[in-house]
Amino acid sequence: MEISATNIAELIHGEIEGDPSVTVSTIAKIEQSKRGAISFFANPKYEQYLYNTKSTIILINKSFVPQKPIPAPCVIRVEDAYGSVPTLLDLFNTVKASNKRGRGFFTKISWSARIGKGAYVGSHSYVGKHVVIGNGSQVYPHSYLGDNVVIGENTIIYPGVKIYAACRIGSNCIVHANAVIGADGFGFSKTEDGKRKKIPQIGNVVIEDDCEIGANSTLDRATMGSTIIRRGVKIDNLVQIAHNVEIGENTVVVAQAGIAGSSVIGANCIIGGQVGIGDHIKIPDGTTILSQAGVITNVKGSGRILGGTPAIDFKDYMKSYVIFKNLHKQNESANASGDK
């Protein structure tokens, strides 16, 4: 599908210079420009590519003054070219979306399940008893929805997702391929003879509206009650969320992070890649935890930036790191003095 420069300018509140009737069908990097594409220029390091671009439409800032003619047939000026990119990406993603309806081949859907208007269930998927799939939601092939699962409207469940019984996912969510929602929490008690006895996990997982769950991430069901992912949370690939964890609104959890059982993460936090958070930890709103940090005690005070293991204020961590990385020099100096 092709989109005209006029339509794009209206969407991003831009001003057209050149031919408003040209159309594009994709978006491309400025250094990988091609005919039929729209590219954006925001970083001065890439200005050299601007003057030999092959793209049909170029998006630039209103304040930018080019040093040479821009060869693109159409230029659209906006207040913030880089800030307009998410809108463009969303536009082209919507255009390419298939929005399938109905059922694929070899699906197994319980007679008691309720499938909303315009929803889709892909081939080789299983939909259990009393499942509810909201209007316009897409369940792609090879997915499993256990009994009493509820999915809101316009949610996308990508291929191979497994959602265990009684879990609930809100509207306008995205769950990427092979994520597992509602597997048992990791709970065992030690018996008198030293064996590990499994503790039944009878809770569920609740994911509120506008959330995104990355590929191969796992969100464990609660021992009792619910593991709760609040509205607007974004979870990257390969993340482990343990039983009875609660994550506040609009928090971001980056790849390979792990959050242990019963921890409570506040709203608008950023949990960096490979961060480890111990069990029963409380982290207040607005906290940023830098990559590979380890949090083993409650965090006091909102809006802090933490790094290192055990995690401390980032500025303190960097000061300590300067000392740490120079310890070998002190040791070498001491040995040299001893030799004399």
Nearest residue to 205 via CA among 235, 175, 164: 164
Calculate ∠ Cα 299-304-310, nearest 5°.
50
Strands, sheet with 74-78, edge to edge from the N-terminal-most edge strand: 15-18, 74-78, 57-61, 37-40, 26-27
Measured CA to CA, the distance from residue 75 to residue 61 in angstroms comes to 10
Active-site positions? 243
Residues listed for the chain: 340
Give residue 179's pLDDT: 98
The tens place of each residue's pLDDT in the chain, 340 residues long, gives 689 999 999 999 999 999 999 999 999 999 999 999 999 999 999 999 999 999 999 999 999 999 999 999 999 999 999 999 999 888 877 655 556 788 989 999 999 999 999 999 999 999 999 999 999 999 999 999 999 999 999 999 999 999 999 999 999 999 999 999 999 999 999 999 999 999 999 999 999 999 999 999 999 999 999 999 999 999 999 999 999 999 999 999 999 999 999 999 999 999 999 999 999 999 999 999 999 999 999 999 999 999 999 999 999 999 988 888 888 777 666 666 665 5
Tokens of 64: 């930018």
Q: Where does 3-96 sit in CATH, by number?
A: 3.40.1390.10
Longest distance between any two alpha carbons in the chain, whole Å: 88
Nearest residue to 114 via CA among 138, 132, 136: 132
Measured CA to CA, the distance from residue 123 to residue 153 in angstroms comes to 20
Give residue 327's pLDDT: 81
Measured CA to CA, the distance from residue 121 to residue 124 in angstroms comes to 9
Task: Kindly report the backbone phi and psi dihedral angles of residue 69, in degrees, each rounded to the nearest multiple of 5, phi listed first.
Answer: -65, 140
Q: Which CATH class is domain 102-318?
A: mainly beta
Strands, sheet with 102-103, edge to edge from the N-terminal-most edge strand: 102-103, 120-121, 138-139, 156-157, 174-175, 212-213, 234-235, 252-253, 270-271, 288-289, 305-307, 312-313
Q: 16, 75 in Cβ contact below 8 A?
A: yes
At 329 the three-state DSSP class reads helix
Give residue 98's pLDDT: 55
Give residue 340's pLDDT: 54
Cα 173 to chain centroid distance, Å, stands at 11
Give residue 337's pLDDT: 65
Cα 273 to chain centroid distance, Å, stands at 12
Cα 8 to chain centroid distance, Å, stands at 26
Measured CA to CA, the distance from residue 104 to residue 120 in angstroms comes to 8
Q: Tell me the domain boundaries of the chain.
A: 3-96, 102-318
Q: 141, 104 in Cβ contact below 8 A?
A: yes
Q: 137, 151 in Cβ contact below 8 A?
A: yes
At 317 the three-state DSSP class reads helix
**One fold for 3-96 and 102-318:** no
pTM of the entire predicted model? 0.79
In single-letter form, the type of residue at position 19 comes to: D
Measured CA to CA, the distance from residue 38 to residue 18 in angstroms comes to 14
Q: At what angle do helices 5-12 and 81-96 cross, to 10 degrees?
A: 120
Nearest residue to 166 via CA among 106, 210, 218, 227: 227
Measured CA to CA, the distance from residue 278 to residue 280 in angstroms comes to 7
Q: At what angle do helices 327-339 and 314-325 cross, to 10 degrees?
A: 30
